[in-house]
Amino acid sequence: MTSDVRKLPTGFGRLWTAQTVSSLGDGVTHAALPLLALTLTRDPMALAVVTAAGTLPWLLFGVLGGALVDRWDRRRTMWFADAARAVLLAIPAAAAAAALDALSIPLLAAVAFLLGLGGLFFDTAATAYLPDLLRRDPALLERANSRLRGAQTAMSGFAGPPAGSALLALGRAVPLLADAVSFALSALLVRTLPAMPRPVPEAHESLLRQARAGASYVFRDRVLLGLALRPAVGNVAFLAVETVLALFAHDRLGIDTFGFGLLLTAEATGGLLGAAIASFLGRRLGTGTALTCTAAVEGLAILGLAAAPNPYVAGLALAVCGAGMGATMVLAPSLRQAIVPAHLMGRVASTSRMLSMCAAPIGAVLGGWLATTYGIRTPLYAAAGLLLAMTAVTASMTSNRRVEAALRAAAPDHPASEEPAPESAPTLL
């Protein structure tokens, strides 16, 4: 992808601010919900239910949600999702219940599930809206995604979790109310975004058929399939590591609770660096080669973590891995947004996200089984092997040659990219 000296449009600044504020609230709740659950029970399975509830919407409704987003006005969908989440956290069923000591594990699981459902619609709509806002310009998409990813990492990875813990000390309702305010502010900002043409309706097709068409579009396109497999296999590897990381850090590296927090901060710091240099890597190496390199970097970094003799080497390895992940999560979505037709963007994005979410539980189970059967370092070595294997997949499926061909096919003056003029579509409300 070539460089572009043009500035990002004013509307992007409002979208970036909205997602930054919302990410801060997400970080607060991400820390607060498990801690709230911990005040109610010490049962690991009950705690796992609360954690898993937030991912269920992607597993159950991911593709259908994408099909709905491709029918609806994307800006209005984002606004509605944020407004609904603000109300959810502000009503007595969530925040007031916490203050009145009326919390329960089922209630927390329900809140996590509904927040996840709102996140599904907001994230999918935002992913589909951004290419329209930036007129599908590949260079601008990379710059925009770099800023969005950097803000998300900073807010949800650095600022949000400590803030959630601190607010919880002021009262069990406080972090939930703070998150409600963040969603309300985000909704107000989204409301001011410029309107974009609604997706072209696909006449006489059921929602299920449209969802299936979006999923099949991913599996038929070699570049899109490569972009979808990368996070899916990556989640298997990373969840296998995450499952045993705290135990590995404590038993093998002698890291205490505070030190473990610093270890995670090192990974987040690497993620910020990776997001910042992603556009440079794409321009210097080509997007395809850059994706191949980040896959290799992630695998080698986890291999270094598995063999780490002390906390300093482990922290460096996680920082390098985070940098690879940060760059990947800018380059891959930017490429997808540049080559997917506008009327399929929601379904393609949600299908890719669903594949990665489905892979996460597999990684968690695999990590636990390998650690129990073969030792605590084994899941880390297995994860490194999976990530290095992805290097070969990325090299073939998303090579520079394939990427450039896909970008040419998606260019506005290319015959294959021509689309009908936008028509009216069903409104969300």
pLDDT of amino acid 196: 84
How many CA within 13 A on the CB side of residue 46?
Answer: 14
* 122 C-beta neighbours (distance < 10 Å), count: 26
Q: Which amino acid is at 176?
A: L
421 burial type by CB count under 10 A (0-12 exposed, 13-18 middle, 19+ buried): exposed
Q: Which amino acid is at 164?
A: G
User: Which of 34-43, 112-121, 197-206, 299-308 is modeled with the greatest confidence?
Assistant: 299-308
More confident of the two residues 155 and 339: 339
pLDDT of amino acid 380: 95
pLDDT of amino acid 245: 86
What is the Cα–Cα distance from 201 to 295, expressed in whole angstroms?
37
What is the Cα–Cα distance from 3 to 140, expressed in whole angstroms?
8
Tokens of 346: 């929601």
More confident of the two residues 301 and 265: 301
Question: pLDDT-based confidence at 256, cuts 50/70/90?
Answer: confident
Give 110's DSSP letter: H
pLDDT of amino acid 338: 92
pLDDT of amino acid 201: 58
185-243, pLDDT tens digit by residue?
999 999 999 988 776 655 567 888 888 888 899 999 999 999 999 999 998 899 888 87
Backbone torsion region of residue 335, taken as left when φ is above 0, otherwise alpha when ψ lies between -120 and 50, otherwise beta: alpha
- Mean pLDDT, residues 40-54 taken together: 73
More confident of the two residues 171 and 151: 151
Q: Which residue has the tokens 């589909």?
A: 128
Q: Is the pLDDT of residue 405 over 50?
A: yes
What is the Cα–Cα distance from 253 to 307, expressed in whole angstroms?
11
Question: pLDDT-based confidence at 416, cuts 50/70/90?
Answer: very low
pLDDT of amino acid 3: 43
Alpha helices (H) in 286-410, listed in sequence order: 287-306, 311-339, 345-374, 378-397, 400-410
Mean pLDDT of the chain: 83
Query: Among residues 40, 33, 39, 51, which one has the least CA distance to residue 89?
Result: 33
Per mean pLDDT, which range of 249-263, 303-317, 377-391 is the poorest?
249-263
Query: Among residues 278, 277, 354, which one has the least CA distance to residue 123?
Result: 354
pLDDT of amino acid 425: 36
Q: Which amino acid is at 159?
A: A
Per mean pLDDT, which range of 26-30, 115-119, 402-406, 422-426 is the poorest?
422-426
Q: Is the pLDDT of residue 420 over 60?
A: no
Asked whether the beta carbons of 119 and 315 are under 8 A apart, the reply is no
Q: Is the pLDDT of residue 327 over 60?
A: yes
156-196, pLDDT tens digit by residue?
767 777 777 777 778 777 888 888 899 999 999 999 999 88
Query: Among residues 178, 141, 106, 120, which one has the least CA distance to residue 15?
Result: 141
271-324, pLDDT tens digit by residue?
989 999 999 999 999 999 999 999 999 999 999 999 999 999 999 999 999 999
Q: Is the pLDDT of residue 148 over 80?
A: yes
pLDDT of amino acid 99: 64
Q: Is the pLDDT of residue 93 over 70?
A: no
Q: Is the pLDDT of residue 94 over 90?
A: no
Residue-by-residue DSSP string for 156-197: IIIIHHHHHHHHHHH-TTHHHHHHHHHHHHHHHHHHTSPP-P
Query: Among residues 319, 324, 234, 318, which one has the least CA distance to residue 274?
Result: 324
pLDDT of amino acid 53: 81
Q: Give, rounded to a whole angstrom, the gap between the first and last alpha carbons of the chain.
A: 38
Question: pLDDT-based confidence at 84, cuts 50/70/90?
Answer: very high
User: Which of 15-24, 254-263, 295-304 is modeled with the greatest confidence?
Assistant: 295-304
Tokens of 10: 């004013």
* Phi, psi dihedral angles at 77 (to 5 degrees): -65, -45
Give 104's DSSP letter: -
172 burial type by CB count under 10 A (0-12 exposed, 13-18 middle, 19+ buried): buried
